[in-house]
A and B are shown apart, each in its own frame.
Chain A
Amino acid sequence: MAGWFDPRRTNIERWAYTFQRVTGLAVLAYVVAHIGDTSFFVGGPFGEGPSRASWAAGLSVTESLLGHLVLVMVVLVVVYHGINGVRLILSEYGVIFDKPSRPDYPYRAKSLRAVQRHLIWVAIVGAILAALYSGGLLLG
């Protein structure tokens, strides 16, 4: 495990990898909490059935400054995980790399540059913009 969190002096892809794993766990935790939350109030274990009031009660869980901050974090994490996930899928199809060729010194790995690397920044900037937008809506 320690290997995951020791990206000293290496490449940005390693950070992207670590964040992808952490955000993956965060998204999973959110989805579980979200489904639990909504099913509790819609239908509900007390058998009151779906109603406007129970739905509103469900929404009220996040109706606070802390709740809104959590939701903004969720947007940040989901958008990063999504865009970076697309980058990883594209890399598995080999479409975001330069073609292999005879390497020349000083070697610069083809997999660690060009479109592939730009896409990491797209994921980071995209996630920040989405979080700012949602923050504006929720907190503004």
Chain B
Amino acid sequence: MAGEEVVLKIRRFDPSLDERPRVEAFAVPLKEGMTVLDALIYVKSRLDHGLAVRFSCRMASCGSCGMKIDGRARLACETQISSLPRGAVAVEPMDNFPIVRDLVVDLERFFARHAAAMPGLVRERDPEEQESPTGEYLMAPGELESFVQFTYCIKCGLCSSSCPTASTDALFPGPQALSQAYRFLADPRDEGEERRLERVDAEHGVWRCHFAGTCSAVCPKGVDPALGIQLLKRHVMSARSPFGRKKRRGAPVFPNPNGDLLGQP
């Protein structure tokens, strides 16, 4: 390892200055356990301060460092250089997003789509319970299990950047938003089913997915958005069919015997 180098071939592009992207190569001294993000930080601090790269947690939690590494969407902080094939490492911004500069893409629309999926409990019966809770909603462990994996999403955008439908249909909400829609439809506490179905059972909605599955192949958190989307299709069909299984009304509130939720009397 000592004395070895890795070459990063980074795609550079500043839309306000450049007509088209160009690739620049940087040689970085290899260290044991070095991630692609470590190497990029080395480039930024020692070789070219102008390199635009976004990161924060460096531990696959914040979802900031999504990019295309050797042709595949990955988190730079989670990708060890030793896990990649030998030779130069191609580093590019994620597909399907507008480029802000170099490796930084604009996630605004992506977050807006997440917001449009209504990522919060909708309650018809006791809306005030959300603001001033008096207890907990009752839910069986099995019910939690049925959607908990979809709550692991860190909104990194890797799934939507790899989706072939998202690359051809600009109005498609993408795997992230659709799997979040399912996460709340499957949640026994939620009562927003009709509004949620209207949003996903639409022209550019869930039926545009033809199950290429790449979203799930690249997801770094085991969310498996493709599974969420297929189950979402089943949910839509069930809800729309006279013979389908219907969702029961939202889970009831279980008063907290210890006073408020922090256990204060």
Residues of A within 8 A of B (CB): 1-4, 7-11, 13-14, 17-18, 20-21, 88, 91-94, 97, 99-105, 107-112
Q: Which residue of B lies closest to A102 (CB)?
A: B148
Contacts of A1 in B (CB 8 A): 167-168
Report the Cα distance A8→B216, complex, angstroms. Answer: 15
Beta-carbon contact of A100 and B149 below 8 Å: yes
Q: Does B70 contact A (CB under 8 A)?
A: yes
Q: Does B234 contact A (CB under 8 A)?
A: yes
The B contact surface, by secondary structure, is helix
Contacts of B228 in A (CB 8 A): 100
Beta-carbon contact of B145 and A103 below 8 Å: no
CB-based A-B contact count at 8 angstroms: 118
Q: Mark B183-224, 1 if CB is under 8 A from A, else 0.
A: 000000000000000000000000000111110111111111
Among B150, B223, B237, the residue within 8 A (CB) of A92 is: B237
Residues of B within 8 A of A (CB): 70-72, 95-96, 145-150, 152, 162-164, 166-168, 210-214, 216-224, 226-228, 230-231, 233-234, 237
- 10 example contacts (A-B, Cβ-Cβ < 8 A) are as follows A7-B214, A10-B218, A18-B164, A18-B212, A91-B211, A97-B227, A97-B230, A102-B145, A107-B220, A109-B219
Among B166, B214, B223, the residue within 8 A (CB) of A11 is: B214
Q: Which residue of B lies closest to A2 (CB)?
A: B167
Beta-carbon contact of B230 and A92 below 8 Å: yes
Q: How far is the CB of B223 from chain A (nearest CB, A)?
A: 7
If the complex has contacts A8-B71, A93-B234, A93-B237, are A3 and B222 also in contact, measured as CB distance less than 8 A? no
Q: How far is the CB of A125 from chain B (nearest CB, A)?
A: 20
Report the Cα distance A97→B225, complex, angstroms. Answer: 13
Report the Cα distance A1→B170, complex, angstroms. Answer: 12
Report the Cα distance A88→B162, complex, angstroms. Answer: 20
Q: How far is the CB of A109 from chain B (nearest CB, A)?
A: 4
Beta-carbon contact of A17 and B211 below 8 Å: yes
Beta-carbon contact of A111 and B72 below 8 Å: no
Contacts of B220 in A (CB 8 A): 107
Among B212, B213, B221, B230, the residue within 8 A (CB) of A103 is: B221
Beta-carbon contact of A17 and B227 below 8 Å: no
Contacts of B233 in A (CB 8 A): 92, 94
Contacts of A112 in B (CB 8 A): 213, 216-217, 224, 226
Beta-carbon contact of B164 and A3 below 8 Å: yes
Beta-carbon contact of A111 and B164 below 8 Å: no
Beta-carbon contact of A111 and B70 below 8 Å: no
Report the Cα distance A101→B223, complex, angstroms. Answer: 10
Report the Cα distance A4→B166, complex, angstroms. Answer: 10
Beta-carbon contact of A103 and B214 below 8 Å: no
